Amino acid sequence: MGALNPFALKKRVRNNGIAVERAISCNEEGTEIEMGGTRGRCMATERQQRKRSLLTLSLYTILAIGVIHKLRYFLEINREQDGSYVPLRFSETQYFFTEKRPMNSRSVLPTMTFPNPITIDGKQPKIRFLWGIVCTAREKDFLRRQTIRETYLSYYKDRPELGTPNLICSIHEYTSDAKIREECELIYTFVAGGATEPDAPTQLLDDVDPNRPMTLDPPTATTTNGNGKNQDASDEIIENDITYLNVKENKLLGKSHTYLKWASAKVQDGTINVDYISKADTDTILFPPRWFAFTHTSLMPHPYNRFVYGGIFLDRLGCGGVGVSHCRHMVNKNYVAGEMSFLSPDLSHFITSDQLDRKGMKSNDTEDVITANYVHSSPQPVHEVVITPKHVLWEHGDQLKDPVKYLKRWNQLKDTWRLDEPAFAMR
């Protein structure tokens, strides 16, 4: 018989039909021990009981954390900011689009207060962005591009009273007009794959002919309308704001990283003078006054913007948890959601150059996670600019892929933003 455990349990047993309590000692194996002519059954040793209690407590703790996490985001979306606005996004950790209220209700942006603009030597610097809107050149996407052109990309052109008609410009306007080049702070271009040969690569970073041109000449004119039908020559629409990358059209196989490589090269050779390179989706609506208030108060120009990585950051839980394969491959604890992200040119150059061994890294089908893995492999410290949905600099969602709903949402929200800082009141 094993050594007796120093503790004893009491068990109710039947003795001639009467319930009585008898002391039962337990050995370390938890087997029953005869005491005073009565055999009792030890349900567990002290050690086993402690293990079971800890396991139960751990399970309840995990469950409580999950419930609290979901409840926090549920409360976040239903919280009415400034008593009026409920964002369309479901939560900052979700990609899918869930609209909690009808699109035609509570469509007023909350008032935002920004600090004073950054000044260097007593002057407010221009913070310039190359704004790449990733799309396809397919005819069905023409209406989506045109809707974006007629909404936030034309915000200042449609408001001459603001006195900044060139604050947003296309890359064609930027390269062809010196005045616009001086005044423009958001230089946009749509980014599409233009290679049509069957064996064309999907990216121009690894295992690709180094002499292959990075871009293709755009068509001189687009003679199709949104329905893909031919138009008369007098009604031609020239889309000179599209950059055609010399890769096969794709969404998750390297087109975005090829764009970053091309953009970095344009900055290095002086063709484009910008402080940051951004990538945005076509289902993202930018709110220009808030955006420029943010850039002027929160970002530094070159050369003070070393290795900067910004956007809405998500953690492993936002990625999908350890149950999702590419989330387990994350190099660091976070990444920026693909709806809108930006890098300083030096960081963009690093992640697309031969300095980074991309072949030795896990590959997956989510380009924003891959970008983060590249970024967090930098030997230099990376400065993260953390934006959250509460800042309401833009709005993103699957329903905004529909040009009609995109335009409707824009019309609901335009001119409803209110900035407390007088310096931005007329933006």
pLDDT at 107: 61
Helix, strand, coil share (%) of the chain residues, nearest 5: 30, 25, 45
Residue 124 pLDDT more than 80? Answer: yes
pLDDT bin (cut points 50, 70, 90) of residue 92 is very low
pLDDT at 352: 94
pLDDT at 45: 57
In 23-123, alpha helices (H): 46-78
- Which among 222, 224, 153, 186 is positioned nearest to 406, based on CA atoms? 153
Percent of the chain with pLDDT over 90: 43
pLDDT at 22: 47
pLDDT at 359: 77
For residue range 180-215, what is the model confidence (pLDDT) as tens digits? 999 999 999 999 998 888 889 999 988 888 889 999
pLDDT bin (cut points 50, 70, 90) of residue 140 is confident
For residue range 216-236, what is the model confidence (pLDDT) as tens digits? 988 765 444 444 444 444 445
Please give the structure tokens belonging to residue 339. 């709806």
pLDDT at 30: 45
For residue range 295-313, what is the model confidence (pLDDT) as tens digits? 999 999 999 999 999 999 9
C-alpha 401/C-alpha 342 separation (Å) is 21
Residue 325 pLDDT more than 80? Answer: no
pLDDT at 70: 61
Residue 179 pLDDT more than 90? Answer: yes
Residue 35 pLDDT more than 60? Answer: no
Cis amide leading into 381 (omega within 30): no
pLDDT bin (cut points 50, 70, 90) of residue 319 is confident
Residue 48 pLDDT more than 80? Answer: no
Q: Taking residues 131-139, what's their average pLDDT? A: 92
- 215-216/242-248 β-pairing: antiparallel
**In sequence order, what are the residues at sequence separation of 6 or more whose Cβ sits closer than 8 angstroms to the Cβ of residue 300?**
118, 127, 275
C-alpha 297/C-alpha 214 separation (Å) is 35
pLDDT bin (cut points 50, 70, 90) of residue 425 is very low
Q: Taking residues 56-84, what's their average pLDDT? A: 63
Residue 363 pLDDT more than 80? Answer: no
pLDDT bin (cut points 50, 70, 90) of residue 26 is low
**Mean pLDDT score across all residues of the chain:** 77
Q: What is the DSSP string of 375-405?
A: HTT-SS--EEEEE-GGG-SEEE-GGGGSHHH
C-alpha 242/C-alpha 253 separation (Å) is 20
- Which among 164, 144, 146 is positioned nearest to 155, based on CA atoms? 164
pLDDT at 221: 57
pLDDT at 309: 96
Lowest mean per-residue pLDDT among 93-107, 351-365, 393-407: 93-107
For residue range 232-280, what is the model confidence (pLDDT) as tens digits? 444 455 789 999 999 999 888 889 999 999 999 999 999 999 999 999 9
Residue 155 pLDDT more than 90? Answer: yes
pLDDT at 20: 45
